[in-house]
Structure 1
Amino acid sequence: MTLPAWAVRPEQVRAALPDADPSVAEALGGIEEWRERPEAERAPVFAAALLLDAGEHAARKALWGLGAPIAWREHVAALVRYAWLPFGALERPDLDRLVFRVSLLARNDDLGLLATADALRRADMGLVEEVALFTQYTREIDCLDKPRGFASDHARFAYFRTPGRDPDYAAFDDTRCTVTVMSGLPGSGKDHWVAANRAGVPVVSLDDLRDELGVRPTGDQGPVIAAAYARAREHLRAGVAYVWNATNTTRALRSRCIGLAASYGARVEAVSVEAPPEVVHRRNRARERRVPAAVIDRMAGRWEPPDVTEAHSVLTVAND
């Protein structure tokens, strides 16, 4: 059962990660601005404070296991990922790009509260002042408590792919075709989604290519990857839409296939398919191409679902 955001209680988080340090959460409780917020707005910041020292990946995996709502979970994970940003922020040459990204994935005022609690935990008032400067700066550029706006999804996509680009530049949309990049753990339901929603569209599937080439999942994947990119280039040169079907569970794994599509002027839609842990493992056990359970657990521990800074659009599909 999916829990509402406010039902992911502190004791559940502590049970999921019993070694988590509660000191940042305790410091957060002393911040009046946080206490005055509505409960639903306090909850993700408090969860991020409890999970801060565990890191982004452990936080995401723990909340996935608790059945936290996907958007809420990713808000918390983004806060944990960027908790370092407010410290010395004004000295960073790429600050605007970073705070724009945070504004799209979470909220910069939430990040400021989390960082303030961390600074108080350390009893470092110099860091508290740095966070205050960060908060003031994000207010001045109008992305403290709301997403940074872009002229279009293509302008946003181009901005996050092009260092030095003006975020207000309305990039001309000259995309020629759409590439659908699938992402999800084994057993999450990617193949089913592709069959139901992209019938007739060519599919570049790493699993299918392994079968064609006789390569085991534990074998040398070099020939499989080379064949996949060769087929993708054929479609891109012809301006033909296609689906890239692979687990793509990290930003690094997605970056190459998205970069290839972008280099040929394609529109990129990322489709993130999810299921609860018990469903993923049950489906995997029933698959002909079964993945060892320990491998899925390791993948879940490094899992990074796609976000709107990576693609023109992101569709999240929950297969409960």
Structure 2
Amino acid sequence: MTIGDHLEELYGLPAFTFPGSGGTTELPAPDAVAWRIAVESYGAEPPWTEVFARFCAAVDTTRVRALIVGAWEDTYDCAPSDVIEALVAARDRLPALRSLFLGDIVFEECEISWITQTDVTPLLAGFPALEEFGVRGGQGLEFPALRHDALRRLTVETGGLPVSVVRGVGASELPALEHLDLWLGTSWYGADSEVADLAPILSGDRLPRLRHLALRNSEIQDEVAAAVASAPVVARLDVLDLSMGTLSDDGATALLGGQPLTHLKKLDLHHNYLSEALRQRVREALEPAGVEVDLGQDDADRDEDEDGTVHRYVAVGE
């Protein structure tokens, strides 16, 4: 599976692409949409920073609540350092900004595992009132530990998440965080974390308000499920998401054999490698208690060698 569609909404607001040409398109009210600012991803002219400057001149940015950063020029080779610097430099002009997504880039512009990123934490430091932050792309991504008192939602979408980012998120003080979504990915594209690296997240010590935990798109999904089965943070979750990965009967059995999950509102396991018998066990264990269970369709990609060895794949890799 690839990412073929741009974000349609952010912060509950419909996405609207700012016209980079500076044409005559009628602009919506500044606080009515999530503004998407993007350029062509291959040697674009003008550069992203120039389009952003044009946006700041055309829109009352004091009322802007959500920004979506789409492709910048040469996303394969260039980190968005200039983009981040421009956003931080404009922070006084964006006092109402509450949601920011960096890298709303689809596969036709740049495959997810080839998006070049950098240290994104200056955006969080520069916008202390930010409530939602998301980033797509793991190549070169950095997330050193920080403290942010307002952030409620953190999303990191990758085909391969560096262990340094996993550890940075786990070591961060995020007292308001309610929703954490990490796409761990595959070692083919840079994922090098182990289950032990998730321990600070699974303990929940630094995440007192966490209610939605997604650790997904992982080639070690069975090991993650086994660790989650006894994780202290699970007892206070409303939603547990272990989808998009290589979950097999082993992982699902470990999950069902751990702590009770009947308090959940939703368990999301779509895109999995479960047998029909295990799928039925999951339903029977949770659905009578009112848990919404998403097992998706039995359509995850797999290859089988002549000796019967089955190769399993995450939903989003390259």
Query: TM tier, shorter chain?
Result: under 0.3
User: Looking at both structures, which has the greater relative contact order when contacts are Cα pairs under 8 Å and sequence separation is at least 6?
Assistant: 1
Considering fraction of residues, name the structure with more strand: 2
Considering fraction of residues, name the structure with more helix: 1
TM-score under structure 2 normalisation? 0.25
TM-score under structure 1 normalisation? 0.25
